[in-house]
Amino acid sequence: MNAADTAFVLMGAALVFVMTPALAFFYGGMVRRKNIVSILMQCFMLMCVVSVLWVVYGYSLSFAPSEGFWGGFAWLNLKSVGLEPFSGYSETIPHQAFMIFQAMFAIITPALIIGAFAERMKFSSFMAFMILWFTFVYCPICHWVWGLGGILRKMGALDFAGGTVVHINAGIAALICAILLGKRKPPLAAAPHNVPFVVLGTGLLWFGWFGFNSASALAANGLAANAFVVTNTAAAAAGLSWAVIEWLKHGKPTVFGVCSGIVAGLVAITPAAGYVSVVPAIIIGGLVSVFCFFAVTVLKPALGYDDSLDAFGVHCIGGIWGALATGLFCSKAVNPAGADGLFFGNPQQLIIQAKAVVVTLLYSGIITFVIYKAVDLVMGMRVTLRDEIMGLDLTQHHERAYSVLE
């Protein structure tokens, strides 16, 4: 084992862990004042429940070697997941270090979906839905992309740190939930109720994303350095791009728009971070804001769905572009274990990336629909009109942060 690699991956796990509380403030700043506690509660409860489920069965279903639908049950309760390296994933860090690093991805992925149904889902139904979604959506897709024997991994799909597993997966689930749950009751807030919270959340997400992407190299090496550099570059390019778009369209840029662009850039570079160099990172970041801005400001109003905090518009659209851009710009000069993309003489890689995107969209979308309908049938998903008007802070948790009734 290598002490530097172990310390680096554990620090990366800690950085990714911080991202879920960061997301709580990022989302919490966007909702109406009467619902911020509910957002914080949902994020923190996912941190608790997924942490437990991951060590009990989630890690086994996701990463135990298998060519089947799941990884299987060989590593239930971390059986055989010890303090020695497991060569299938890394030969220089303890197996448990890899396990806990991946746990942080499993926590934040379902938390991203919260942005689609904020302010209108019953907390009891939220918990049931998320446990089922983690089990039957996240774990299989994680195994297909990253697990030994996974079908998309064997196909050659590249996803360095979670473009398909995390962002497309959660983003399409968010859209399904938003459509099925229906629109929030008016009057809706025209702007985030607490922009400083949004900025705080964005800054912490950007900070945590360095662990998200660079530690996915699983070693303190040159590949990790490349991932760190392109992550920062793509985020900066996307924030700048979104500001320019707003400036041209509305006559002035907004800090909320810059924050949205930064997150979109981080999403897009995630699958490509270990496979592309800095110039493609600028292109990936610059263009993702165009696509996501269109999804948020044109597509959503045109189709009429209420994706409250634009989980689909940013994470799914940004994730799709990132996955496809990986097939365009990936290069063995950056990562010999990867592949060359379309612009380096291998158009087949773009086709593989597109297939992985379609598989993820179809499976996650369909199973999310089934899970939603099942929970809705048994428990009911939406709060009553009275509870929605009062706000979820009071009606679901008997708490308030700093708000007054609206």
Q: Is the Cβ–Cβ distance between 383 and 14 less than 8 Å? A: no
Q: For Cα atoms 60, 21, 13, give the angle at the middle one, nearest 5 degrees.
A: 45
CA proximity to 146, closest of 316, 339, 298, 356: 356
For residue 276, what are its two tokens?
């592309």
In a domain, 137, yes or no: yes
Q: What per-residue confidence (pLDDT) applies to 186? A: 79
In a domain, 402, yes or no: no
Half-sphere CA count of 402, side-chain side, radius 13 A: 4
- Partners of residue 121 on adjacent β-strands: 382
Q: What per-residue confidence (pLDDT) applies to 114? A: 97
User: For residue 43, what are the domain limits?
Assistant: 3-397
**Lookup result for tokens 């290598």:** 2
- Partners of residue 382 on adjacent β-strands: 121
Find how far residue 148's CA is from the centre of its chain.
22
CA proximity to 371, closest of 131, 186, 158, 165: 131
In a domain, 312, yes or no: yes
pLDDT in tens, the chain (406 residues): 999 999 999 999 999 999 999 999 999 999 999 999 999 999 999 999 999 999 999 999 999 999 999 999 999 999 999 999 998 999 999 999 999 999 999 999 999 999 999 999 999 999 999 999 999 999 999 999 999 999 999 999 999 999 999 999 999 999 999 999 999 987 676 678 899 999 999 999 999 999 999 999 999 999 999 999 999 999 999 999 999 999 999 999 999 999 999 999 999 999 999 999 999 999 999 999 999 999 999 999 999 999 999 999 999 999 999 999 999 999 999 999 999 999 999 999 999 999 999 999 999 999 999 999 999 999 999 999 999 999 999 999 999 887 665 4
Q: How many domains does the chain have?
A: 1
In a domain, 253, yes or no: yes
In a domain, 405, yes or no: no
**Domain of residue 98, CATH code:** 1.10.3430.10
**Whole-structure pTM value:** 0.96
